[in-house]
Amino acid sequence: MSNKVFFFGAGFSKAINGDYPLLTGKDGLTNRVLRDLKNDNGDDYEKKSIQQHFKEIPQSLTDNIEELLTYLSSDLPWKDERQKAMNKALYIDITNKIVKIFESINNYDFADCNSKQFQKNKALWEFIYKENITCVSLNYDLLLEKNLIAASNIIKKQDEMIINIQEEDSCGKFYKIPILNIINRVSNSCSYRYELPEILKLHGSINWLYSSISPSDSIFYRDFQKVENNLIEDLVPFIIPPILDKNSFYNNNTLKSIWKRAHTSIKSAEEIYIVGFSFPLTDLPIKLLFQSALRKNNDVKVYVINPDNSDEFKSRYKHIFTEEQLQWDFCGIDNSLEKFINNKVLNNNLSEAL
């Protein structure tokens, strides 16, 4: 395992592909989901029931996605069984809308190794792959998986530069916690390659599915092949939407293991690269993750890669990390990720080659 760790927030995906939404803002994920909800006029009985239930919820909640989802997912003592059932149906409907937004940007095709987007950031993907760097991510999208698979094909075919998609080109080779390929619902065989980078998705992924019944539920992942409906019709997406209280999700045994591995990786890291994350006050578990993991690691270097240079932004970091740990070289500048790649990643690759 590498002594380096990447930590990716939504700003990372946005920096790679401007079509990805941030949580807030006019075209952010929150507003897009709320617009879809308010304009959703389904024809079937189920859709109409969900829409009617949405209209019965106080407007003060329906204008704030975090408060709405927190209300829907909380087992509050005054809710009767009908309310709980309708809340769960609306909650699943919102989750599906979030997944569809990301799927419209990030479909299940492989990354194009010859595209300008891939070539622009090729050094980053190869750096992660060759250095076997653990990537801790809060993002639902498949940007990491797709580009690391493309990088692995380039590295495997380096001499002739012929890109072949092979059967082993699966997201699963980067998920080292036992998340099963959906096709393994009829075949229990699975294997993990520990010499590859690991992707730890703390908030789930658009290609993860589970039954949403108990903490022991298995999490399955969809790969890039077409999946028969009979394999997934009883499952719902496993993503942790932006809610104020995420504790109910953290009871899932597989997700607990993912968080523990993230804690271990951060704890032993010598360098941490935090890309596109501002430590919002509503995401307390992430703050506690770093504070707990680094409480005895005073020598770690934490690189902040973000165009934001405001006092408020920096104060959040200073509340978590020491001045000695923080590295501001790539903070508060335009195209901060691109400059990080050009100055840190390429220089590292050059020194490795020498």
pLDDT in tens, 40-97: 776 677 778 888 888 888 888 877 788 888 888 888 888 888 888 898 888 888 888 8
Q: Give the C-alpha separation, 164 to 138, whole Å.
A: 30
Q: Residue 313 corresponds to which amino acid?
A: F
pLDDT exceeds cutoff 80 at 155: no
Q: Give the C-alpha separation, 224 to 280, whole Å.
A: 33
Looking at the structure, do residues 304 and 341 belong to the same domain, yes or no? yes
- Range of weakest confidence among 26-30, 73-77, 247-251, 338-342: 247-251
Per-residue pLDDT band for 193 (boundaries 50, 70, 90) equals low
Q: Is 23 inside a domain boundary?
A: no
pLDDT exceeds cutoff 80 at 12: yes
Residues 6+ apart with CB under 8 A from 270: 3, 4, 299, 300, 301
Instruction: Looking at mean pLDDT, say which of 69-83, 96-110, 157-171, 266-280 comes out highest.
Output: 266-280
What per-residue confidence (pLDDT) applies to 1?
A: 59
- Residue 288 in contact with residue 246, Cβ under 8 Å? no
Average pLDDT, stretch 310-339?
95
Looking at the structure, do residues 125 and 203 belong to the same domain, yes or no? yes
Looking at the structure, do residues 92 and 226 belong to the same domain, yes or no? no
Looking at the structure, do residues 72 and 142 belong to the same domain, yes or no? no
Q: Which residues pair with 272 in a beta bridge?
A: 5, 302
Among residues of the chain, what percentage have pLDDT more than 70?
Answer: 87
Per-residue pLDDT band for 353 (boundaries 50, 70, 90) equals very low
Per-residue pLDDT band for 167 (boundaries 50, 70, 90) equals very low
Given 56, 89, 105, the domain boundary residue is: 105
What per-residue confidence (pLDDT) applies to 159?
A: 43
Q: Is 24 inside a domain boundary?
A: no
Kindly report the average pLDDT of the chain as a whole number: 84
Domain count, the chain: 2
Looking at the structure, do residues 116 and 265 belong to the same domain, yes or no? yes
Range of the domain at 69: 29-105
SS3 letters for the chain?
A: CCCEEEEECHHHHHHHCCCCCCCCCCCCHHHHHHHHHHHCCCCCHHHHHHHHHHHHCCHHHHCCHHHHHHHHHCCCCCCCHHHHHHHHHHHHHHHHHHHHHHHHHCCCCCCCCCCHHHHHCHHHHHHHHHHCCEEEECCCCCHHHHHHHHHHHHHHCCCCCCCCCCCCCCHHHHCCCCCEEHHHHCCCCCCCCCCCCCEEECCEEEEEEECCCCCCCCCEECCCCCCCHHHHCCCEEEECCCCCCCCCHHHCHHHHHHHHHHHHHHHCCCEEEEECCCCCCCCHHHHHHHHHHCCCCCCCEEEEEECCCCHHHHHHHHCCCCCCCEECCCECCCCHHHHHHHHHHHHHHHHHHC
Looking at the structure, do residues 218 and 304 belong to the same domain, yes or no? yes
**Site of tokens 């829409």:** 51
pLDDT exceeds cutoff 70 at 164: no
Average pLDDT, stretch 331-352?
84
pLDDT per residue as tens digits for the range 322-336: 999 999 999 999 999
- Range of weakest confidence among 94-98, 187-191, 242-246, 334-338: 187-191
Among residues of the chain, what percentage have pLDDT more than 90?
Answer: 37
Q: Is 183 inside a domain boundary?
A: yes
What per-residue confidence (pLDDT) applies to 161?
A: 44
Given 70, 105, 140, the domain boundary residue is: 105
